[in-house]
Amino acid sequence: MEATTAIRPINNPSRKVLIHAGCWSLFIGYELFYIHYTVGSFGAPMRYFFYYPVNICLFYLVVHVLKQNFSAKRPAYLAGLIQLPALLLFFLFLKFAFDQYTSLPLTGPPGTQALAVRQILILDLQRILYFAGAAGLYWAGGTISGLQKQAAETRIRELTHLADQAVLESQLARAGNAYLQQQINPHLFFNTLNFIYSEVMDCSAGAAESVMLLSELARYGLEEKDELGRTPLDLEITQVGHLVRINRLRFSNSTLLDFVLEGEFGSHRIIPLILLTFTENIFKHGDLKTAQASLKIKISSSGRLQYFSKNAKKPWANQDRHQGIGIKNTRTRLDYSYPDKYSLDVTETETAYELHFTIDL
């Protein structure tokens, strides 16, 4: 990629003032040295104390007029063409008045006076045009520098856009490959589950039922959702019931689980796998083998969906449930889909976990 170099403007005001002051000092020093070298004397100091401040003012006023009228988003060419000559005439009059005050009154024949006036006007006009031209060059240089910077920034934006587009195209290609894989892998997965179900059905009704429930859970995770990526709430709760049933079968119904549903869920929708993740964490982190251990799940809908769970901790558990990948991912999904519309609190004691989740659907 070809590098683009632009003249960077000086953004620090104090530094800019120091640079300008240094440049003017060098310029004035050069002119004074040239005058002394060519003429042999400096002349009246008052003239220098007047002329150089006036010339410097002229320089910056011309720059201001050029910027104001020719560098604006909507240039005012006519106003600039009127203001520039008027500004030059004003400074010409100012200098001539000072010359008349310091060097005149003129004496001698009228022809001599007219010649002297003309010479003074020509010299003053030359200096005015000199500093006005320098101001024009300064303004042109700044304008070109600004255009170079804008061109460089535009080029960078274009390259960034092309890079982003290339990344998106790469991601789209990967997504297409993943979609093709999903079309193949589920068929193999469900066919395998159906085979296992048919093989174990005669040997173990519980194992066969677990296989069917697991197949339903997997199918639910792969089903298409609506345009907002949501699914019927009652379908999500049905899968929670399937997960609870699978774990009852795993532990031969020995687990003390209180599973309570209250309210009406059919008219609501939710992003999928939220309640399933909470329920899965119960069986992952909870103590399911101790006789006195018990689990509780309560899901209710009364204007807001509420999910509460409590389970005893495994005696050897050493992982903070707050830091679980499942909970982190769930918070991220909820923050994206329901910003400021939900609360999720996980409480951990020495012996138990409690989870409180409420959401406005």
User: In sequence order, what are the beta bridge partners of 231?
Assistant: 270
Report yes or no on 312 lying in a domain.
Answer: yes
Same domain for 264 and 132, yes or no, is no
Last residue of a domain, one of 118, 135, 164: 164
Same domain for 18 and 159, yes or no, is yes
Report yes or no on 65 lying in a domain.
Answer: yes
Unique residue bearing structure tokens 């024949």: 109
Phi, psi (5° rounding) for residue 202? -80, -20
Same domain for 277 and 150, yes or no, is no
Last residue of a domain, one of 164, 184, 208: 164
Same domain for 232 and 320, yes or no, is yes
Same domain for 158 and 297, yes or no, is no
Same domain for 250 and 352, yes or no, is yes
> pLDDT at position 7, please?
43
Report yes or no on 40 lying in a domain.
Answer: yes
Please give, one letter per residue, the 3-state secondary structure of the chain.
CCCCCCCCCCCCHHHHHHHHHHHHHHHHHHHHHHHHHHHCCCCCHHHHHHHHHHHHHHHHHHHHHHHHHHCCCCCCHHHHHHHHHHHHHHHHHHHHHHHHHHHCCCCCCHHHHHHHHHHHHHHHHHHHHHHHHHHHHHHHHHHHHHHHHHHHHHHHHHHHHHHHHHHHHHHHHHHHHHHHHHHHHHHHHHHHHHHHHHHHCCCCHHHHHHHHHHHHHHHHHHCCCCCCCCEEHHHHHHHHHHHHHHHHHHCCCCCEEEEEEEECCCCCEECCCHHHHHHHHHHHHECCCCCCCEEEEEEEECCCEEEEEEEEECCCCCCCHHHCHHHHHHHHHHHHHCCCCEEEEEEECCCEEEEEEEECC
> pLDDT at position 3, please?
43
Residue 312 pLDDT exceeds 70: yes
> Taking the complete model, does pTM exceed 0.85, yes or no?
no
CATH code, 283: 3.30.565.10
Digit-coded pLDDT (tens) for 259-270: 999 988 888 999
d(CA 50, CA 94): 11
Report yes or no on 203 lying in a domain.
Answer: no
Report yes or no on 173 lying in a domain.
Answer: no
Same domain for 42 and 126, yes or no, is yes
Report yes or no on 210 lying in a domain.
Answer: no
Same domain for 18 and 160, yes or no, is yes
The region of weakest confidence among 105-114, 124-133, 151-160 is 105-114
Digit-coded pLDDT (tens) for 81-115: 898 889 889 988 888 888 777 765 555 565 666 77
> pLDDT at position 355, please?
94
* Region 14-25 average pLDDT: 87
| Domain hosting residue 138, numbered range | 13-164
Residue 81 amino acid letter: L
Q: How far apart are the first and last CA of the chain?
A: 50
| Contacts by residues 66-75 (CB-CB < 8 Å, ≥ 24 positions apart) | 66/135, 66/136, 66/139, 67/139, 70/139, 71/139, 71/143, 71/146
Same domain for 54 and 135, yes or no, is yes
d(CA 117, CA 111): 10
User: In sequence order, what are the beta bridge partners of 226?
Assistant: none
d(CA 69, CA 81): 9
Same domain for 20 and 158, yes or no, is yes
Same domain for 123 and 46, yes or no, is yes
Q: Which of 129-143, 166-180, 196-210, 317-331 has the highest mean pLDDT?
A: 129-143
Report yes or no on 290 lying in a domain.
Answer: yes
Last residue of a domain, one of 142, 164, 186: 164
Report yes or no on 72 lying in a domain.
Answer: yes
> pLDDT at position 1, please?
38
Digit-coded pLDDT (tens) for 64-74: 988 888 887 78
- For the chain, the maximum distance between any two Cα atoms, rounded to a whole number of angstroms, is 138
Same domain for 38 and 160, yes or no, is yes
Give how many domains the chain has, as a whole number.
2
